[in-house]
Chains A and B, each alone.
Chain A
């Protein structure tokens, strides 16, 4: 059990690899993953204003291989830029669950770290990593583009060293995250993505994937139906 911030990360028992070059491939893949990051910026708060300078000619993120992408399916990084109100948090979680792993969350701004100046607000979720596994926090109100790029570089070096594994934590301790989400949104909270099914399929279950909160989810879960598309005439 290693630690990443206050998130305990469980190392999965290594599967037997027969390919002698497996390690080389792994390193190559980790390197490429760290050099090519597609970022989905969920601009929830004022911190978003620091992203355009970080992306355009002054600080040019593309030279680090970081590109903005527009849908969660294509993205690797979810950038949460600023305070998340309870309503927004639902959307952030939906977005996060649609992303394909390995996926990373970066919390920009003090508001995502501890609520910042919205500490007393009844409508904001304070600590982001109670609801989503955050890889890197960038504190500041608001952090300068240099700080944003520093944070992204930290994430790059984490991925390159094989330490960017917070996304596994979401599967392994789903019960914990789900519990916090239910606390905010009520017991009948459910998302269209079957996280438990995915954890089973990709062999990412941990000891805390199931628990009392997932049982609550099962009780309230309604089967998903395809949305009916209707044209109003």
Chain B
């Protein structure tokens, strides 16, 4: 009977965690647009704007699909993040975080980009192809420091389980105090992972017409909007769990994730963008260097 209870509880968590992530992600999208507006001395969108956008996009009367892979690509892109969400522990819910560690998670975080690449490939729009080749190069750029950071953190805690890391940090002290260099490198990689300025060359609205999104209409674009809100959530919760000790309760947790996600958002509107090769260069130089020195300290 106990096992039945634990299974139903697990199923409930698997349902509830993505929904929660989506809602929090929507608030983060709103926050992103509000920060942009305030920095530009505008008022910004109303509170429910992200919801209006998504409902509107899904309710378009005509939908252009460019083929099966185009459809599946978007599902893969959103699905990758949903899979990542159930691996991220939140206060009171672990999902399957204790079964798949941070290594599984770093694999899952690559799936959305690959899904997009599949979907965009079938659109056969040259702007899209340029965009996606830039996006994959960007992934190569930020994944190297990200993986080094993950490796260093796992080495420090002698564990790859996020649940274990959070417990350790709550008992002792936050990761950011024990490994400040790795935390700094992680923040750098986070900026690239969220695809915000100065690392958003693959979107570049004015030059390549939003790159990967160029042929996305209606529900496809809606899928990407949903994906974006998951992306914000995943990036912030991952960073919070690695360096800020997760959350002992919901209040602390929300405070931390919104604080984390606010940093790249505010940086994002202060810079123009780097070219792809410059992005690779800068990503492989500074964060990698910081992370390697950080690892040396950890050992």
Binding site for B on A (CB under 8 A): 28-29, 31-33, 35-36, 56-57, 60, 62-63, 65, 69-71, 73-74, 76, 100-102, 198, 202, 226, 229
Contact = CB atoms under 8 A, between A and B. Distances in A.
Contacts of B217: 73-74, 100
- The A interface, classified by DSSP as helix, strand, loop or mixed, is loop
B179 to A, nearest CB: 40
A124 B42 CA distance: 37
Contacts of A36: 49, 52-53, 55-56
Contacts of B44: 60, 62-63
A57 B42 contact: yes
B15 to A, nearest CB: 23
Contacts of B8: none
A57 B216 CA distance: 29
14 contacts: A32-B51, A32-B56, A33-B56, A57-B42, A60-B37, A62-B44, A63-B42, A65-B52, A70-B209, A73-B214, A100-B60, A101-B62, A102-B61, A226-B124
B272 interface: no
B202 to A, nearest CB: 14
B41 A57 contact: yes
Contacts of A35: 46, 48-49, 52, 56
A192 to B, nearest CB: 12
A229 B48 CA distance: 43
Contacts of A198: 62
A69 B206 CA distance: 10
Nearest to B64: A100
A36 B124 CA distance: 28
B221 interface: yes
B43 interface: yes
A62 B33 contact: yes
B146 to A, nearest CB: 29
Contact of B126 (A32, A62, A70, A229): A229
B208 to A, nearest CB: 9
A149 to B, nearest CB: 13
Given A56-B42, A63-B44, A74 B213 contact: yes
B59 A29 contact: yes
B60 A32 contact: no
Nearest to B49: A65
A63 B62 contact: no
B45 A65 contact: yes
B170 to A, nearest CB: 40
A70 B216 contact: no
B218 interface: yes
A73 B209 CA distance: 11
Given A70-B210, A73-B217, A74-B210, A102 B46 contact: no
A100 B63 contact: yes
Interface in B126-155: 126
Given A71-B214, A73-B64, A198-B62, A32 B52 contact: yes
A202 B218 CA distance: 15
Contacts of B48: 35
